């Protein structure tokens, strides 16, 4: 189930133990339940995985080959979002002027040393 108690259908379950050679795997049904009748008494590691949740593992003890119920709550997986922003250089709308010819009359003669230059006149 999730952290709010809602069942998680189609969660993948794996059971591993010293007494079994190959891990036992299964998938929960629509009600979030899964049954396994092949377990003998012993200690097992149960791992549950589901899309959107972090995997959860726990060790269980089975006595006399019977485990009545085991409720596991899966934590919601961390959300990692990568946002990539690509932008073109801004285009500024306006008038663009091109200087094609320089007229000497637009620029005043150089000021004498220490004298401020007069402002440029159009």
The DSSP 8-state label assigned to residue 76 in this structure reads B
Q: Label residue 12 by pLDDT band (50, 70, 90).
A: very high
Which residues sit opposite 54 in a β-bridge?
none
Per-domain boundaries in the chain: 12-62
**Residues listed for the chain:** 122
Cα 5 to chain centroid, rounded: 24
* Phi and psi based region of residue 64 (left: phi greater than 0; alpha: psi -120 to 50; beta: remaining): left
- What's the pLDDT tens digit per position in 60-119? 888 875 666 677 788 787 766 677 777 776 666 665 555 555 555 555 555 545 555 555
CA distances from 93 to 90, 96 (A): 10, 9
pTM as predicted: 0.57
User: Which residues are CB-neighbours of 116 under 8 A, at least 6 positions away?
Assistant: none
Helix (H/G/I), strand (E/B), else coil: 66:
strand
């Amino acid at each position: 189930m999730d952290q709010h108690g809602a069942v998680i259908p189609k969660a993948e379950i794996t059971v591993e133990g010293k007494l079994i050679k190959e891990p036992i795997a299964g998938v929960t049904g629509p009600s979030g339940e899964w049954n396994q009748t092949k377990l003998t008494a012993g200690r097992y590691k149960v791992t549950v995985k589901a899309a959107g949740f972090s995997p959860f593992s726990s060790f269980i003890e089975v006595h006399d080959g019977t485990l009545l119920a085991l409720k596991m709550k899966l934590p919601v997986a961390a959300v990692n979002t990568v946002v990539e922003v690509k932008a073109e250089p801004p285009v500024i709308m306006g008038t663009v002027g091109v200087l094609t010819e320089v007229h000497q009359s637009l620029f005043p003669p150089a000021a004498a040393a220490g004298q401020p230059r007069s402002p440029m006149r159009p």
